C-alpha cells in the first residue's frame, strides 16, 4: 500500500494521515489505548512522513526527542514508567528479534544524524497532544510552517 503521507506535499490533513496509519495495522490504534505515549509517537510517524520499518522507527524516535517538546527525559519516562508500554515494546522487540533491532539501529545512524540536523532547522518544535485545529490542518501546510523535510 502506498502511503500518501510519506510525500512532502501531501494534501491530507494530519487526522486523515493518522487514520490511514491506523488502517495499516489495527494494533497501532489499540496500543494507544493501552499506553497513551504511542499516540504522539504515531502522530510523529505521519507528520514527519515515516513508515514503520526498523530504520524509520529510529528516525521516529529521533524526531520525537529532538523535533517535539517531548524531549529525551520525558519521552523515555513516558515509556518506562508505563507498564503497558514496556510490555508492548518487549513484544515488538521479541517479534522482530533483538539482534535485528540492534543491527538496523546501527545501520540507521547516517539517517539519524541527517534527521537530527533537520530537527535543528525546524522553525519551532511540534507540541505533543495537538489540538483539533492542528489535526485538521493539511500536512503540507504543517510541514511548511514547521520547516519539516521528509527523510525516509
Number of C-beta neighbours around residue 54 at 10 A: 14
- Bridge partner list, 138: 13
Q: Print pLDDT tens along the chain (152 aa).
A: 689 999 999 999 999 999 999 999 999 999 999 999 999 999 999 999 999 988 899 999 999 999 999 999 999 999 888 999 999 999 988 888 888 888 988 999 999 999 999 999 999 999 999 999 999 999 999 999 999 999 98
Contacts of residue 119, Cβ cutoff 8 Å, sequence gap at least 6? 62, 63, 66, 67
Amino acid at each position: 500500500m502506498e502511503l500518501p503521507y510519506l510525500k512532502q506535499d501531501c494534501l491530507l490533513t494530519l487526522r486523515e494521515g493518522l487514520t490511514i496509519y491506523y488502517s495499516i495495522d489495527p494494533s497501532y490504534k489499540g496500543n494507544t489505548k493501552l499506553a497513551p505515549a504511542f499516540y504522539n509517537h504515531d502522530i510523529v510517524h505521519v507528520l514527519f512522513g515515516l513508515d514503520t520499518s526498523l530504520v524509520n522507527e529510529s528516525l521516529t524516535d529521533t524526531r520525537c526527542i529532538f523535533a517535539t517538546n517531548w524531549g529525551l527525559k520525558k519521552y523515555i519516562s513516558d515509556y518506562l514508567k508505563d507498564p503497558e508500554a514496556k510490555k508492548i515494546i518487549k513484544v515488538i522487540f521479541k517479534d522482530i528479534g533483538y539482534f535485528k533491532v540492534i543491527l538496523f539501529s546501527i545501520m540507521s545512524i547516517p539517517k539519524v544524524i541527517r534527521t537530527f540536523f533537520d530537527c535543528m532547522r525546524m522553525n519551532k518544535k511540534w507540541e505533543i497532544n495537538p489540538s483539533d485545529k492542528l489535526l485538521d490542518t493539511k500536512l503540507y501546510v504543517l510541514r511548511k510552517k514547521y520547516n519539516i523535510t521528509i527523510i525516509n
